[in-house]
Structure 1
Amino acid sequence: MDNNNIDFKDLWNKQTINKPNIEDLLLRLKQFKKASLRSLWKTNILLAATTTFMIFIWYYCQPEFISTKIGIILGILAMAMYVGVYNGLLSTYKNIDSTQTNQEYLQQLIIIRKKEQYMQSRILSWYFILLLVGICLYMYEYASRMTVFYALITYGITLLWIAINWFYFRPKQIKKQQLKINSLIEKFEEVNNQLQS
């Protein structure tokens, strides 16, 4: 066989390259944006309803102990802090639109990932700490009217539920969210690398 007659350009053009489907990637990005905005609105509604309920309890039950009032304030403060920072992601999600380039999509996703990491580490930690202290202070007035046995059971169940949320549900949710965003970022990086080469 004569090696001088090999058409390398023709061979190169005939090879099959696994190219990511841009339309599919943009659909995944759109679904991510829609799910993230839905989650944001659900969180806002749920925490607003919880705050309203806590204010109603304060007004209706008229707690006698200052610890109960401080507990309610800490609970409301925790939720307000969390929602305030979480709503900062709203503008970032809304900045993703169909007119952007792949590089702009990638930059927006990286910004979202950084903000989510901040939420998942610092803000969520402070949220749980404030909520834990607030619930414990709030429960003190009512637990003081119980026998020691029932007060310990009440506190034990409450602290167990908070621990389950902290050690099981929180890491699971964080991992799920990180997988979604990291997968999108990897796909957009892959597309950008192919377009540059």
Structure 2
Amino acid sequence: MNTNIDFKELWNKQKMDIPDPKELFEKTKEFKKKSFRKLLLANITLLFTTAFLLFIWYYYKPEFITSKIGIVCIILAMFLYLFVYNKMATFLKSNNYEMDTSQHLQQLLKLKEKERFLQTTILNAYFILLSIGICLYMYEYTCRMTMLWATVTYGVTLAWIALNWFVFRPKTIKKQQKSLNELIEKFEKINNQLIQK
């Protein structure tokens, strides 16, 4: 029995699961389209929300300065988020088929970096400003309630914010990162295979 095993030969015989570059370009294109649609939806939703808040300010004319500051904080939170999110539009709209796989990989890595900044720093600032704005806005109306109902109102509102912060936000971030990471991983496989050849 021969105990000398040639590991290099076994390794070379192993089949590598290398994705098709054309298929990857199509998946990247589809990912960018889907992300761009989300960007448009976020713009439309937050702009309508801003218009609604301005309508409330104009029509109901809050008396307390806290309510006005609250509305400004909420609008500021939304515009901060949209300002940074819209900077990703150039990456999402570009579909240059003349780029090679390494250039596509670099573009996806830049997109991942921008997405990480949006999902951490900007989303944290968004939630903080939004929470402060909602609490300030509600003060005018809760101070007219009994202490019990004011506590219940703030409790339910803060519980909803906490649920979004601790449950929905991490799930959404993981889902977004998963699809982008899968694309990056496949492009890295192709690039590593090209480097080895």
1:4-83 residue pairs with structure 2 within 5 A? Answer: 16-83=15-82
Aligned partner letter, 2:27: R
Secondary structure at the aligned position of 1:20 is classed as: coil
Shift of 1:86: 0.4
Secondary structure at the aligned position of 2:88 is classed as: helix
> Could you say if the C-alpha distance between residues 14 and 137 of structure 1 is closer, same or farther in structure 2, counting changes exceeding 3 Å?
closer
How many Å separate the matches in 1 of 2:16 and 2:83?
A: 46
Shift of 1:20: 1.3
**What is the aligned partner in structure 2 of residue 109 from structure 1?**
108
Deviations 1:75-119 (A, max 9, x none): 000000000000010012123422211111001100000001111
Deviations 1:132-191 (A, max 9, x none): 000000000011111111111111111000000000000001111111111111100101
How many Å separate the matches in 2 of 1:186 and 1:15?
A: 20
**What is the aligned partner in structure 1 of residue 7 from structure 2?**
none
Q: Which has the higher contact order (CA 8 A, sep 6+)?
A: 2
Shift of 1:14: 8.6
How many Å separate the matches in 1 of 2:174 and 2:191?
A: 25
Deviations 1:28-73 (A, max 9, x none): 1111101100000000000000000000000000000000000000
TM-score (ref. length: structure 1): 0.90
**What is the aligned partner in structure 2 of residue 177 from structure 1?**
176
Q: Which structure 1 residue ranges, 5 or more long, are not aligned?
A: 1-11
Alignment identity in percent? Answer: 53
How many Å separate the matches in 2 of 1:70 and 1:17?
A: 59
Aligned-residue RMSD, C-alpha: 1.8
Deviations 1:9-31 (A, max 9, x none): xxx99975433122221221111
Asked if the contact 1:96/1:105 (under 8 Å) is kept, the reply is no
Secondary structure at the aligned position of 1:63 is classed as: coil
Aligned partner letter, 2:124: S
* Aligned length in residues: 187
